[in-house]
Structure 1
């Protein structure tokens, strides 16, 4: 009797694999769209600063506060909410969060003074608290390991694209129909997307789309861990802690520029509100493209090497610091704009590098909590601290001077990345 072997995949298995891959990309598209809505709701207010400053007689510190309170709420709540999502179910948690931030954005549209706007913005942050971390954990579970930086960079680039749409559309809509319509339309977009998500994404379909090279046990359903085990899983080494911290310190620059670029262009370039919003949105769009491309490039160059990922993080941060320092020392003009565009290309590069480092070092079952920890660091030390601190400095010495000193902040993440790289080498030798 002759025995024959074949590497051919059965037709049913091949069809199932193709179906799982297609569904994974459908989920990616929906999750990308929801993060787009998340940041449209978060950043649309920035284009309205010149209007609110005059209408409600607000200081730069107050303007910075209604922007910073959202990432502050996200930072405070992201870890407990993500732990709850890992236990209660990621699919249901995401639907609830998206519905809440959409309702809160609608609340911003009907606010009549600073205090009401501040409270509504808090609830925008409550709704957004764990979406980024839970969303990226869900995507990591349905895509192969070799695409981690690509998926992380691609998914989180929706933050930049959402900021682009939020700021640019908000400025245009406010000019023609009033600022309240700007916030109202952002809320409607969120409601539409969450309705589609609830129909398409289910726990059962996600479990079927899990790739063959996924490690560990499936993460769907309830996950129960002791506090000690959770902490050990989130911080398995000093190098991983450096990935959390370095990312946050780099996001400090990102958060500041996203919030204050429209006001900078309005005050020092003499642009009208609508044009300042569009130009700032264009720079944020470059940031989103850079975020995506840096993730793809990191995967191509690094492969399975964590050390190379650290090298990429160092290189990206160095480029950001040097280019932005030169740009803000130039007078307003085309050359400044070109250098700013080159600088912001590397602005959000930390998401693709640091997310992949953290994903490779932490258990899949707590990836939601791991990315929540990254979100906590990013929001408290980065997105919340950057705009508020810059607003305080701007009240003292002017916005232009404050932004000229901003590139010095790149020294901190650069130093942390170098320490993280060194610790990784030491830890690898011990293993």
Structure 2
């Protein structure tokens, strides 16, 4: 595939990921409207976010096997169509249980998208640029989240919350149809070189050892989950935080939160660029860099939610909007660096399972329950500890990266 074709695939994947997160996160700006219409609690609002991640957690592994062993393009196209139609269905729900079910189906559709997209980009771009490309691609996450939250709050405030779901659902369906016709790459055979130089088929024990005996992946994936707990908590609860403590209407609160989240458009590509640049001098920089960025994020979170209010707090949260996602491209690249090329989608799927099991699925509910018990301002003061622990795990993993690197 030519460089021009590779970039066409990149931009289609970018747009799909952007609408993926618009569909996923639009609900958080609708919380006050849903509470009024359905009489639900903060914890139940959190469940509407967690429902997506629980479905991803359950379906991600089988979906990634389908991606790796069947077709990247067809799998992604089908999954994008499912999540778009499920988002549209949310607009027609009447009860919490119906809305929860529709949100869960969104997660079924999204389960294999990130593994499939990551595997395609890892194949179409060289290894030395991998973190940089993945950083640019992951910039679509904060862009989609910010657009979903900002537009969702605006549309719900002026036209009703049901229209917000419909607005973000339809573009993804169009892109899903377009992606079906994208050129795929040949499925990679699961083989290894024997001492004689001949290619032999990987045994099941060889496949499992790729993940169970890989200390780099263990540290990387656990740290990823801790950092995702932080970012998901902020994505879910910042609009409500500004609504309650700054006295803003929900459309203004959603826009204020979006202005912070959208700065991750800088943070994700910057993190990938700095990681790849540092890697020219330090081979394990793909773990050292996110270790540093995680600690910096923890310090900023501690300052913002413990000591500050108003404009000063807003300024520090701006910095967090950049630093909190700087870990993503490096840590995603690590999931590709230390496994067989034929297992790349499965490797990221394992990462997704862990990050959602311990991070994304827990964060909205845990912070919601803490908010119900102590207040949302107190609940957010727990976040720095997660970022600090992520930094420690990434630093520990950096000592194993060279030995685990797949050659």
Q: Is the TM value for this pair above 0.5? A: yes
Q: Unaligned stretches of 5+ in structure 1?
A: 1-18, 211-215, 218-223
Which of 291, 307, 330 is the aligned partner of 1:314?
A: 291
* 2:332 aligned residue (345, 355, 374): 355
Mapped to 2, the partners of 1:424 and 1:122 lie a distance apart of 36
Alpha-carbon distance in 1 for matches of 2:259, 2:389: 27
Residues 311-355 of structure 1: CA deviation (Å, up to 9, x unaligned): 212111111000111011234311100111112211122221112
- Residues 165-184 of structure 1 aligned to structure 2 (within 5 Å): 165-184=147-166
1:137 to 119, 137, 143: 119
Instruction: Verify the 8 A CA contact 2:225 2:355 in the aligned structure 1.
Output: yes
Deviation at 1:288, TM superposition (A): 2.9
Structure-1 separation of matches of 2:308 and 2:298: 18
Choose which of 17, 24, 30 in structure 2 pairs with 1:35. Answer: 17
Q: Summarize the alignment of residues 13-412 of structure 1 with structure 2, pairs less than 5 Å apart.
A: 20-199=2-181, 201-203=182-184, 206=185, 227-303=204-280, 305-412=282-389
Q: Which residue of 2 aligns with 1:12?
A: none
**Quick one: structure 1 residues 369 and 225, their matched pair in 2 at CA, closer, same or farther if it must change by over 3 Å?**
farther
In structure 2, how many angstroms separate the alpha carbons of the residues matched to 1:82 and 1:155? 19
- Which residue is 1:4 aligned to? none
Give per-residue Cα distances to partners, 1:98-155, cap 9 Å, x unaligned: 0000110011111111010000001000000110111111111001111110111111
Secondary structure in 2 aligned to 1:422? coil
Deviations 1:23-64 (A, max 9, x none): 100000000100111100000000000111111111011000
Larger mean Cα displacement after TM superposition, 121-130 or 346-355: 346-355
Q: Spell out, residue by residue over 1:244-280, the C-alpha distance to the aligned partner (whole angstroms, 9 max, x if none).
A: 1111111110110000010001011111111111111
- Structure 2: give runs of 5+ residues left out of the alignment: 193-200
Matched-pair contact (CA < 8 Å) for 1:76–1:380: no
- What corresponds to 1:7 in structure 2? none
1:420 and 2:401 are equivalent in the alignment: no
Deviation at 1:305, TM superposition (A): 4.0
User: Deviations 1:81-110 (Å, cap 9, x if unpaired)?
Assistant: 101221221111101100000110011111
RMSD: 2.2
Partner of residue 195, structure 2: none
Q: CA deviation at 1:226?
A: 5.1
Distance 2:261 2:369 in 1: 23
- Residues 262 and 321 of structure 2 are in contact (CA less than 8 Å); yes or no, is this contact kept in structure 1? no
Q: How many residues align?
A: 397
Change (3 A) 1:392 1:63: same
Contact persistence 1:134–1:372 (CA under 8 A): no
Change in Cα spacing, 1:189 to 1:422, as seen in structure 2 (3 Å) is same
Is the CA contact 1:82–1:134 (under 8 Å) kept in the aligned structure 2? yes
Native 8 Å contact 1:100 1:124 kept in 2: yes
Instruction: Tell me the distance in 2 between the aligned counterparts of 1:320 and 1:153.
Output: 18
Question: Does the CA-based 8 Å contact 1:234-1:369 persist in structure 2?
Answer: no
Task: Give the whole-Å Cα distance in 1 for the aligned partners of 2:323 and 2:57.
Answer: 23
- Largest Rg, 1 or 2: 1
- Work out the CA distance in 1 between the residues paired with 2:300 and 2:365: 23
CA apart distance, 1:227: 4.0
SS at match of 1:47: helix
Task: State the match for 1:10 in structure 2.
Answer: none
- Are the structure 2 counterparts of residues 192 and 304 from structure 1 closer, same or farther at C-alpha, using a change threshold of 3 Å? farther
Question: If the length of structure 2 is used for normalisation, what is the TM-score?
Answer: 0.93
1:421 positional shift? 2.1
